[in-house]
Amino acid sequence: MTETAPLRETDGLSLPLRLADLNARAGARFRLTPTTEARAELAADLGVERIRKLTFQGSLTPQGRHDWRLEGTLGATVVQACVVTAAPVTTRVDTPVTRHYLRKMPSPQGPEAEIPEDDTLEPLTPEIDPGLVMAEALALALPDYPRAEGADLPDSITGAGAEDARPNPFAALAGLKKGPATD
Protein backbone atom coordinates (compact mmCIF):
# COMPACT_ATOMS: atom_id res chain seq x y z
CA MET A 1 0.00 0.00 0.00
CA THR A 2 1.40 3.42 -0.97
CA GLU A 3 1.12 6.38 1.31
CA THR A 4 -0.95 9.35 0.22
CA ALA A 5 0.79 12.65 0.77
CA PRO A 6 -1.14 15.07 2.99
CA LEU A 7 -2.68 18.14 1.37
CA ARG A 8 -1.48 21.54 2.57
CA GLU A 9 -3.66 24.50 1.54
CA THR A 10 -3.63 28.25 1.89
CA ASP A 11 -5.53 31.26 0.57
CA GLY A 12 -2.40 33.40 0.87
CA LEU A 13 0.70 33.88 -1.25
CA SER A 14 3.03 31.79 0.89
CA LEU A 15 2.99 28.17 2.02
CA PRO A 16 6.40 27.36 3.52
CA LEU A 17 6.96 23.61 3.76
CA ARG A 18 9.70 22.56 6.17
CA LEU A 19 11.30 19.46 4.71
CA ALA A 20 12.07 18.10 8.19
CA ASP A 21 8.31 18.03 8.88
CA LEU A 22 7.40 16.14 5.69
CA ASN A 23 7.08 12.40 5.28
CA ALA A 24 10.37 11.32 3.65
CA ARG A 25 8.54 8.77 1.46
CA ALA A 26 5.28 10.51 0.55
CA GLY A 27 6.19 14.20 0.58
CA ALA A 28 3.24 16.61 0.47
CA ARG A 29 0.55 17.88 -1.86
CA PHE A 30 -0.26 21.58 -1.95
CA ARG A 31 -2.93 23.95 -3.23
CA LEU A 32 -2.71 27.74 -3.20
CA THR A 33 -5.85 29.73 -4.03
CA PRO A 34 -5.01 33.31 -3.02
CA THR A 35 -7.76 35.67 -1.85
CA THR A 36 -8.71 38.83 -3.72
CA GLU A 37 -6.47 40.87 -1.40
CA ALA A 38 -3.51 38.50 -1.87
CA ARG A 39 -3.96 38.56 -5.66
CA ALA A 40 -4.04 42.39 -5.58
CA GLU A 41 -0.75 42.37 -3.65
CA LEU A 42 0.86 40.03 -6.19
CA ALA A 43 -0.53 42.09 -9.09
CA ALA A 44 1.15 45.19 -7.64
CA ASP A 45 4.43 43.28 -7.25
CA LEU A 46 4.27 42.06 -10.86
CA GLY A 47 3.18 45.44 -12.27
CA VAL A 48 -0.06 44.16 -13.77
CA GLU A 49 -3.52 45.71 -13.47
CA ARG A 50 -5.29 42.74 -11.94
CA ILE A 51 -5.14 39.02 -11.30
CA ARG A 52 -8.72 37.76 -11.61
CA LYS A 53 -8.04 34.08 -10.87
CA LEU A 54 -5.01 32.26 -9.51
CA THR A 55 -4.44 28.67 -8.43
CA PHE A 56 -1.30 26.64 -8.01
CA GLN A 57 -1.52 23.01 -7.05
CA GLY A 58 0.83 20.09 -7.12
CA SER A 59 3.14 17.97 -5.04
CA LEU A 60 6.53 18.00 -3.40
CA THR A 61 8.09 14.53 -3.50
CA PRO A 62 11.41 13.14 -2.33
CA GLN A 63 13.93 12.13 -5.00
CA GLY A 64 16.57 9.77 -3.67
CA ARG A 65 17.88 10.31 -0.16
CA HIS A 66 18.35 14.08 -0.18
CA ASP A 67 16.74 15.79 -3.17
CA TRP A 68 13.14 16.91 -3.75
CA ARG A 69 10.97 17.52 -6.81
CA LEU A 70 8.13 20.03 -7.03
CA GLU A 71 5.57 19.47 -9.78
CA GLY A 72 2.49 21.58 -10.15
CA THR A 73 0.02 23.31 -12.41
CA LEU A 74 -0.36 27.07 -12.47
CA GLY A 75 -3.66 28.54 -13.63
CA ALA A 76 -4.28 32.28 -13.78
CA THR A 77 -6.27 34.98 -15.52
CA VAL A 78 -4.34 38.25 -15.59
CA VAL A 79 -5.27 41.71 -16.87
CA GLN A 80 -2.41 43.84 -18.20
CA ALA A 81 -2.28 47.18 -20.00
CA CYS A 82 -1.74 47.06 -23.77
CA VAL A 83 1.70 48.49 -24.62
CA VAL A 84 0.23 50.44 -27.55
CA THR A 85 -3.16 51.70 -26.37
CA ALA A 86 -3.11 51.04 -22.59
CA ALA A 87 -6.42 49.18 -23.04
CA PRO A 88 -6.87 46.18 -20.74
CA VAL A 89 -5.59 42.88 -22.17
CA THR A 90 -6.70 39.64 -20.53
CA THR A 91 -4.25 36.74 -20.62
CA ARG A 92 -5.03 33.18 -19.57
CA VAL A 93 -2.10 31.17 -18.19
CA ASP A 94 -2.25 27.38 -17.80
CA THR A 95 1.22 25.96 -17.43
CA PRO A 96 2.99 23.04 -15.80
CA VAL A 97 5.73 23.96 -13.32
CA THR A 98 8.65 21.76 -12.27
CA ARG A 99 11.55 22.42 -9.91
CA HIS A 100 14.30 20.04 -8.79
CA TYR A 101 15.80 20.93 -5.40
CA LEU A 102 19.29 19.46 -5.20
CA ARG A 103 21.43 19.07 -2.11
CA LYS A 104 24.55 19.19 -4.28
CA MET A 105 24.04 21.74 -7.01
CA PRO A 106 26.44 21.54 -9.96
CA SER A 107 28.88 24.40 -9.57
CA PRO A 108 30.32 26.41 -12.46
CA GLN A 109 33.89 25.53 -13.42
CA GLY A 110 36.36 28.23 -14.41
CA PRO A 111 35.99 32.00 -14.74
CA GLU A 112 33.34 31.72 -17.44
CA ALA A 113 30.51 29.25 -17.13
CA GLU A 114 27.68 28.22 -19.41
CA ILE A 115 24.14 28.57 -18.16
CA PRO A 116 22.86 25.04 -17.56
CA GLU A 117 20.24 23.78 -20.00
CA ASP A 118 18.06 22.53 -17.15
CA ASP A 119 16.50 25.69 -15.71
CA THR A 120 14.46 23.72 -13.16
CA LEU A 121 17.42 23.15 -10.81
CA GLU A 122 17.39 24.95 -7.47
CA PRO A 123 19.61 24.63 -4.40
CA LEU A 124 18.01 22.65 -1.58
CA THR A 125 17.14 24.67 1.52
CA PRO A 126 15.47 23.50 4.75
CA GLU A 127 12.20 25.04 3.56
CA ILE A 128 10.50 25.13 0.15
CA ASP A 129 7.71 27.63 -0.49
CA PRO A 130 5.38 26.77 -3.39
CA GLY A 131 4.05 30.35 -3.12
CA LEU A 132 7.41 31.75 -4.25
CA VAL A 133 7.50 29.25 -7.10
CA MET A 134 3.95 30.29 -8.08
CA ALA A 135 4.87 34.00 -8.20
CA GLU A 136 8.03 33.32 -10.22
CA ALA A 137 6.26 31.00 -12.68
CA LEU A 138 3.47 33.54 -13.20
CA ALA A 139 5.94 36.36 -13.83
CA LEU A 140 7.75 34.23 -16.42
CA ALA A 141 4.54 33.11 -18.14
CA LEU A 142 3.09 36.60 -18.71
CA PRO A 143 3.64 38.31 -22.06
CA ASP A 144 6.31 41.02 -21.89
CA TYR A 145 4.46 43.27 -24.35
CA PRO A 146 0.73 42.57 -24.23
CA ARG A 147 -1.28 44.01 -27.12
CA ALA A 148 -4.98 44.55 -27.46
CA GLU A 149 -6.55 43.02 -30.54
CA GLY A 150 -5.99 45.31 -33.54
CA ALA A 151 -3.43 47.51 -31.75
CA ASP A 152 -0.60 48.26 -34.16
CA LEU A 153 2.39 50.50 -33.81
CA PRO A 154 3.02 52.93 -36.69
CA ASP A 155 6.19 52.29 -38.65
CA SER A 156 8.66 54.65 -36.99
CA ILE A 157 10.75 55.16 -40.16
CA THR A 158 8.17 55.81 -42.82
CA GLY A 159 5.20 56.72 -40.71
CA ALA A 160 3.14 54.07 -42.50
CA GLY A 161 0.18 52.94 -40.50
CA ALA A 162 -0.62 56.28 -38.92
CA GLU A 163 -2.22 59.22 -40.70
CA ASP A 164 -1.04 61.71 -38.10
CA ALA A 165 2.46 60.27 -37.65
CA ARG A 166 5.27 62.67 -36.97
CA PRO A 167 7.51 63.34 -39.95
CA ASN A 168 10.82 61.57 -39.99
CA PRO A 169 13.39 64.01 -38.50
CA PHE A 170 16.04 62.80 -40.92
CA ALA A 171 13.94 63.87 -43.91
CA ALA A 172 14.80 67.52 -43.13
CA LEU A 173 18.51 66.65 -43.02
CA ALA A 174 18.25 64.91 -46.38
CA GLY A 175 16.71 68.07 -47.82
CA LEU A 176 19.60 70.20 -46.52
CA LYS A 177 22.11 67.81 -48.03
CA LYS A 178 20.58 68.35 -51.50
CA GLY A 179 21.32 72.05 -51.31
CA PRO A 180 19.25 75.21 -51.08
CA ALA A 181 15.86 75.22 -52.72
CA THR A 182 15.57 77.43 -55.81
CA ASP A 183 12.40 79.25 -56.84
Q: Per-residue DSSP letters for 1-12?
A: -PPPPPEEEESS
Q: How many CA atoms lie within 13 A of 45 on its CB side?
A: 12
Does residue 14 lie in a domain region? yes
3-state secondary structure 32-57: ECCCHHHHHHHHHHHCCCEEEEEEEE
Residue 146: inside a domain = yes
Domain assignment present for 113: yes
How many independent structural domains does the chain possess?
1
Check residue 182 and give its pLDDT: 59
Distance linking the first and last C-alpha atoms of the chain = 98
Q: Which domain holds residue 21?
A: 7-152
Indicate the DSSP class of residue 142: S
Does 166 fall in a domain?
no
* pLDDT value of position 1: 41
- Indicate whether 96 belongs to any domain: yes
Q: At what angle do helices 36-46 and 130-141 cross, to 10 degrees?
A: 50
* 180 inside domain: no
> What pLDDT was estimated at residue 5?
82
Q: Does 160 reside within a domain?
A: no
Residues recorded for the chain: 183
Encode the chain (183 residues) as per-residue pLDDT tens digits.
456 788 999 999 999 999 988 888 889 999 999 999 999 999 999 999 999 999 999 999 999 888 999 999 999 999 999 988 888 999 999 999 999 999 987 776 667 666 667 778 888 899 999 999 999 999 999 999 888 887 776 665 545 555 555 666 676 677 677 766 655
Residue 123 lies in a domain: yes
